[in-house]
Structures are given as structure tokens and as C-alpha cells.
Amino acid sequence: MADMSNDYVLTLVQRALDELDDRPVDVSARRAARIASLLGETEFAVYLGLELKPVGGHPTANAEDTRRLMADPSLWGDPEGPAEAAITRYMASRSIAWGPDQGKSSVHGLAAVENIIRMHSDTPSNYDSALMQSHMRDIKERVRHSVFAALCAWERQLTYANVNERIFERFRSHVDALLAEGAPSLLDQFSAVYRRLRTATNDPSSPVAEELSQAITTCRRILKAVADHVLPGVPNAKTDAGHALNDAAYRNRVYEYVKTNTPSGTTAETVNAAVGGLIERFNAVDKLANKGVHAEVGVPEAELCAIHTYLIAGELLSLGQSTTKEPSSP
């Protein structure tokens, strides 16, 4: 769903839900197919594409139209792929439960279903005709219910995603403002990390291990730069417990800063645990890079390092805003 905001798709979902009972089932199905395609819900998008296929036309062209609904059209024809699953679902929804054709499936799309209902409505009523009409109406209602269930699930999913998106966006705006005010060079360093991760993912010719290693090195430098900003190192300085607070001991300086700038010991323990976990992530990605790891394995780990570095940098800068504390004398 690149460049497509959750708010926009959620609006489409809610409109389709609100008007579900007032629109023909094929209209609701087209709306749901569009949303499924946007969300990458390939199996459901293809299933609805089969429901919406026109009466007649060129079979190859019809199949191509349905294939365009797939997030990855190359999976068309894969026996284990989403298109085959969609076809299985489509056929199962049309299983005939009566008469000499019991157990077989009718293959009519919604357009043909409407034509069959209309045709039998215009002919003298008889038992077989009534059964056929009932079967076709059941097909329509099953489609309507499937669309309703999918729309409800997407509404819940997107509403939840929007809450998370807004929370992070507020945090991001706050942190970017703090970085711009107190440590503008860190913004450039974060950009350098993201560029290297993007190169490792998108450029097949790039040395992945080297890109990951450089990205993690920059994350380490960012964490040290934040420590230098909030609690600069002092030669021979130590904490009350005897831990060094010199330039190289930036991890100790972070812990000391957190301890002296949080209102409760519990909060300090939480932040310090996050810092310790981040440094362990740095070491883990370094090991992966040294082994010549592939991008699909190493990049997600490195991305988590970058995200956690950003979160911890923001939390540390937020503790004292732009103020700094002098360490105790040796």
C-alpha cells in the first residue's frame, strides 16, 4: 500500500460498509475488490474478480483482467498460490445441493447470476425453476456476506493501524524537533543509515554485509553522540558506584543520565534495559555482517536497530530536553 494512507483506505472501507445494504451486490464487490487490491489481499481480490467477470467476452482477456488484481501476477497458475486458492473458494461457493447436478458447481459470475434470475422470473413457475432462482440468490447473498465480513475485518485492522500511526507520528514530530534544535547533525546520520539500508535492499550489486556494517556503525555513533549531548564525558570522572564517565564510556554516561533524570527507579530501569537491548542488537547484526549474510536476513535486523536507535535517542533527548547534567567529580 505504498503512498496510500490508512485514512484514505479506511474511508473507502467505511463508505462501502455504510452503503452495503443500499447498493447492488456487484457494486459492493467491485468496491471490496479495489480495497483488497490496495491492501495486497490477493486471494480475496482474485475471488471477487471471478465473481465480477462479465458475461461472454474473450476468456484470455477476462483472465488477464483478473490477474491484474494480484499483488504479484507471476503467481498466477501456481498450484499453491493465492489465485488457485481464490478459484477453489469461488467454485465451492457455487456447489449445487439439489437435483441431478447435486455436488457439481455452477460457474456463473454475478452478471450471469442476475441474468439467470431474471430469465427464470419471466418463465412460468415450476419446481426446478424455483430451485434455480433460490440457488442463484443464495450465491448473491454469500458474496454479500463475504464482502461484509472482509470490510469489517479491514475496518478493524485499519482503525487499529491508524491509532499506532498517529501515536508514532506525534512522537516522530517531537523527536525531529528536538534533534533539529539540539543535535541537527544526528538527522543527517539517521538519513545515512536509511540510505545504506535502502541500498542493501534495492541494489543487487551492493556489498550487503558492508552496507549493514556501516549502517550499524552509524547507529553506534548516533547513540554516542546523544550521550555526548546529554552528558558529555569527563576524563577520570566516575559514578558513585565507581563506573567510568569518560568519553569512551558512553553507555555508562547514558545510564547515569537516565538515573538522574527520571522520577522513578522503574522508569530508569526500563530505559536502561532498552539501551542494553539495543547494544546487543548492534552486536548481533555485526555478527551477521561478518558472516556475509543475505539482505533478506540481515536488513530486517538492521532496520530494527535503526528504529530502536531513533526511539531511544528521542527518549533520552526528551528526558531533559536540551539541558545537560555535569557528572560528579572524580
Chain centroid to CA 275: how far? 25
Identify the CA nearest to 211 among candidates 198, 222, 223: 198
The pLDDT assigned to 9 comes to: 92
The pLDDT assigned to 278 comes to: 84
The residues pairing with 325 across neighbouring beta strands, listed in sequence order, are none
Phi (first) and psi of residue 56, to 5 degrees: 75, -150
Q: Is the pLDDT of residue 299 over 90?
A: no
| Percentage with pLDDT > 90 across the chain | 22
The pLDDT assigned to 327 comes to: 43
The pLDDT assigned to 322 comes to: 39
Per DSSP, the three-state class of 89 is: helix
Tens of pLDDT along 226-284? Answer: 889 888 999 989 888 888 999 988 888 988 888 888 766 667 788 878 888 888 888 88
Contact criterion met (CB below 8 Å) for 1 and 40 = yes
Higher pLDDT, 2 or 22: 22
Q: pLDDT band at 35, cuts 50/70/90?
A: very high
Domain ranges of the chain: 6-153, 183-320
The pLDDT assigned to 27 comes to: 96
Tens of pLDDT along 273-292? Answer: 888 888 888 888 777 777 76
Mean per-residue pLDDT of the chain: 83
Tens of pLDDT along 177-213? Answer: 888 887 788 888 888 888 888 887 777 677 877 888 8
Task: Give 309-313 contacts, CB < 8 A, sequence gap 24+.
Answer: 309/190, 309/193, 309/219, 309/222, 309/223, 309/278, 310/175, 310/190, 311/171, 311/274, 312/223, 312/226, 312/271, 312/274, 312/275, 312/278, 313/175, 313/179, 313/186, 313/222, 313/223, 313/226
27 grid coordinates: 457494486
The pLDDT assigned to 22 comes to: 95
Tens of pLDDT along 61-106? Answer: 878 888 888 888 888 888 899 999 998 888 888 777 666 566 666 7
Q: Is the pLDDT of residue 174 over 60?
A: yes
